[in-house]
Amino acid sequence: MAALLEVRDLQVEFRTRDGIAKAVNGVTYSVDAGETLAVLGESGSGKSVTAQAVMGILDSPPGFVTGGEIVFQGKDLLKMGAEERRKTRGDKMAMIFQDALSSLNPVLSVGYQLGEMFRVHRGASKKDARAKAVELMERVRIPAAKARVDDYPHQFSGGMRQRIMIAMALALDPDLIIADEPTTALDVTVQAQVMDLLAELQRETNMGLILITHDLGVVADVADKIAVMYAGRIVEAASVHDIYRAPAHPYTRGLLDSIPRLDLKGQELYAIKGLPPNLLAIPPGCAFNPRCPRARSVCRTDRPPVYDVTDDAGRPLEPPRGSACHFWKEQLHDRPV
Amino acid sequence: MRDPHSERPDDVDPLANAGTGGPELPNSTEVGIDVATEEAESLENADYTHPGDPGTATSATEARSLWGHAWRDLRRNPIFLVSALLIVFLVFVSLWPSVVAGGSPYDCDLAHSREGASGSHPFGFDLQGCDVYNRTVYGARASVSVGVFATLGAALLGTVLGGLAGYFGGWWDGVLSRITEIFFGIPILLGGLVFLSVVPSGSIWPVIGFIVLLGWPQIARIARGSVITAKQNDYVQAARSLGASNSRIMLRHVLPNAVAPIIVVATIALGTYIALEATLSYLGVGLKPPTISWGQDISTAAPQYRNAPHMLLWPAAWLSVTVLAFIMLGDAVRDALDPKLR
């Protein structure tokens, strides 16, 4: 069966005054219906830009998609006309943003904003749209939905606002939802509730979910597979289980080691040395080499392709797994440097 | 000012229930929330019993956020109340001058030329022996309509052009910005002298047209800037990601959030436009008889100000009060619309 969404070798660049920033350099990933893909990476690794390119909401200029394919339900979105693409947004695919307060229009009531989906895509009347809005608010468990439908975003708490964002994305039962750090602006208990809600709604509707995050704790609970991004490339792609058991890329290893752990309380927390590269001047060879504990001379000259990770007998893994590291084998077995 | 809405018991935290299985809330919690909501509602209703829209619940709720807050601020602001009363009075005088005036402004008697105040002629007489009070009252119509229509025209034109430039950017923005700069370069008085001396003028419309022509670039700049700020908000991208069209994003999401500074600048401009009409009339290129305006009366009175100062004083005083009223209104509206000043 063909995947719901398949991104192939996507290239995005930003033409800035200081030069061309290559934000996405050949990203490939896919999501099936009912599946959750977590895209992981530091700020500026290109994870949000990839999502914006998929949604077609990249600010252009300065952002341009310069290559690759985004195949959604068998059609290449990049070859679609602007109007056809607009109709796909919201209806077939939707996005949840990080900060619900700034993502909701302060001068419109939440009921209006929820109902807008039905008015734009379904031509519903004002009254029907309002009724649908109440229904949606109930669906994401907002208490007293009927009484609160005319309230404004600032009258809701942070968790409730994020629920409203989720309700907006869910309004038309899209096949794919991209959640761009949906829980970053929330405190931990509310985070868990919002993630549970998303997972539950996903089970109900069998939608594909792309979860963009830098929080490894969130990922472990809900994702089926993970793509780790660094400097606009995917450096490791694997199932959640595989990646947590034995990462096959030094960067992933570094990320996992940076999670605070109760059993290591009192010790200094590991941090990956250095800073992410300037996208205007990505280092030659492997982009991670200046920060990599395993870097050797080949890493400074040859850009590693995405190797298929195999088991010890050389057979490909199921589900397939990839790592963009020349020394993935050493990393996989965690041999000392 | 503290916002009573922020004390809404929104945090009777509904979330607490999410963990326990969502919709099947224990009864007591449900009741708690309902009571809280009712309380909040009655609070709101109490706040929004302002005259004008008692029955229309929707318009009251829609006005609640930006305009509702602004309105509540304004009602308590003495500067707003004074200026609003003055403006209401001026509009009334413009519409029905005969109610306030003591007679016709064209009823003149040269025998009374330059005479001072007397019993039934509180402002005295002008050079032609016309009653200054009547002329001042009838002059309000021309002055106020020039101000209001010129402002409406400049605000509409400026908002549309500046808003489009800010929203779409690119070459359209570049072209428009250069055009505004050209208009900024035209000296107002010199431009007025040239423009109005070649356009045949028998009414107030050429003057209004000229003021709009020179006034829109200022509004366009403000509109462009505030649209650029508003369109960078996350909710605009969110609306786009949910499939809203350009026109919907512009009208529903960008414009309401960009309109506050435009309104403020427009109200301030209104006062200056009335003054500009007076200046142009004073120079002899603005409104012409038989239209009566304060500018013309000031212009004819100016050479006589030593022997008959009342001829200059009264129309000039009314003009000053009118301009002041509109500027005060603009100030009050700006303060009320700026959440940071609340």
Nearest CA in chain B to A57: B241
Asked whether residue A44 carries a pLDDT value surpassing 90, the answer given is: no
ipTM of the complex: 0.77
Domain assignment present for residue B253? The answer is yes
Residue with tokens 């602001």: B77
- Per-residue pLDDT tens over the stretch B299-320: 777 777 788 778 788 888 888 8
Which residues does A281 contact at the CB level (< 8 Å), separation at least 6? none
Q: With cut-offs at 50, 70 and 90, classify the pLDDT of residue B85.
A: very high
Q: Kindly determine whether residue B10 and residue A156, on different chains, have CB atoms separated by under 8 Å.
A: yes
- State the burial class of residue B243 (Cβ atoms within 10 Å of its Cβ: 0-12, 13-18, 19+): buried
Count of CB atoms situated within 10 Å of the CB of A74 = 9
Q: Kindly determine whether residue B10 and residue A89, on different chains, have CB atoms separated by under 8 Å.
A: no
A–B interface: beta-carbon pairs under 8 A: 123
Q: What mean pLDDT do residues B59-73 have?
A: 59
Nearest CA among A239, A245, A269 for reference residue A257: A269
Containing structural domain, residue B28: 4-47
Q: With cut-offs at 50, 70 and 90, classify the pLDDT of residue B202.
A: low
Question: CA–CA separation, A60 vs B181, rounded Å?
Answer: 26
Domain assignment present for residue B68? The answer is no
- Per-residue pLDDT tens over the stretch A323-337: 888 888 888 887 776
Domain assignment present for residue B54? The answer is no
Domain assignment present for residue B31? The answer is yes
Same domain, B253 and B313: yes
Structure tokens at B144: 């106020």
Which residues does A126 contact at the CB level (< 8 Å), separation at least 6? A115, A119
Q: Kindly determine whether residue B253 and residue A105, on different chains, have CB atoms separated by under 8 Å.
A: yes
> In what helix (H) or strand (E) does residue A238 lie, and over which residues does it extend?
strand A233-239
Asked whether residue B340 carries a pLDDT value surpassing 60, the answer given is: no
3-state secondary structure at position A285: coil
Q: What is the per-residue pLDDT for B118?
A: 75
Helix ranges (DSSP H) in A59-99: 82-88
Q: What mean pLDDT do residues A301-307 have?
A: 87
- Per-residue pLDDT tens over the stretch A187-226: 778 788 888 888 888 888 889 999 998 878 778 878 889 9
Same domain, B43 and B144: no
Query: Between B8, B41, B235, which is nearest A103 by CB?
Result: B235
The count of domains in chain B is 2
Mutation target among B42, B44, B173, B242 for the A interface, most CBs of A within 10 A:
B242
**Contact between A25 and A235 (Cβ < 8 Å):** no
Same domain, B288 and B157: yes
Same domain, B82 and B40: no
Same domain, B305 and B216: yes
Which residues does B229 contact at the CB level (< 8 Å), separation at least 6? B258
Q: What mean pLDDT do residues A92-111 have?
A: 84
Same domain, B32 and B124: no
pTM of the predicted model as reported, rounded to 2 decimal places:
0.69
Q: Tell me, what CATH number does B175's domain have?
A: 1.10.3720.10
- Per-residue pLDDT tens over the stretch A257-297: 888 877 877 788 888 888 888 888 888 888 888 888 888 88
Residues of chain A with CATH 3.40.50.300: 5-223
Q: What is the per-residue pLDDT for B65?
A: 52
Asked whether residue B4 carries a pLDDT value surpassing 60, the answer given is: no
Q: Which residues pair with A25 in a beta bridge?
A: A11
Query: Between B5, B58, B243, which is nearest A86 by CB?
Result: B243
Asked whether residue B40 carries a pLDDT value surpassing 50, the answer given is: no
**Contact between A102 and A154 (Cβ < 8 Å):** no
Residue with tokens 């780790």: A228
Mutation target among B3, B29, B235 for the A interface, most CBs of A within 10 A:
B235
**Contact between A215 and A187 (Cβ < 8 Å):** no
CA atoms within 13 A of residue A4's CA, in its CB half-sphere:
20
Same domain, B31 and B94: no
Q: What is the per-residue pLDDT for B220?
A: 92
Quote the minimal CA–CA distance from A170 to chain B in Å: 10
Same domain, B12 and B160: no
Cβ contacts of B62 on chain A, cutoff 8 Å: 109
Please report the DSSP string for B240-290 in residue order: HHTT--HHHIIIIIIHHHHHHHHHHHHHHHHHHHHHHHHHHHHTTSS--TT
Same domain, B145 and B31: no
Q: Kindly determine whether residue A55 and residue B30, on different chains, have CB atoms separated by under 8 Å.
A: no
Same domain, B24 and B126: no
- Tally DSSP H helices, then E strands, for chain A: 13, 12
Domain assignment present for residue B86? The answer is yes
CATH 2.40.30.30 fits domain A5-223: no
Cβ contacts of B235 on chain A, cutoff 8 Å: 102-106
Cβ contacts of B35 on chain A, cutoff 8 Å: none
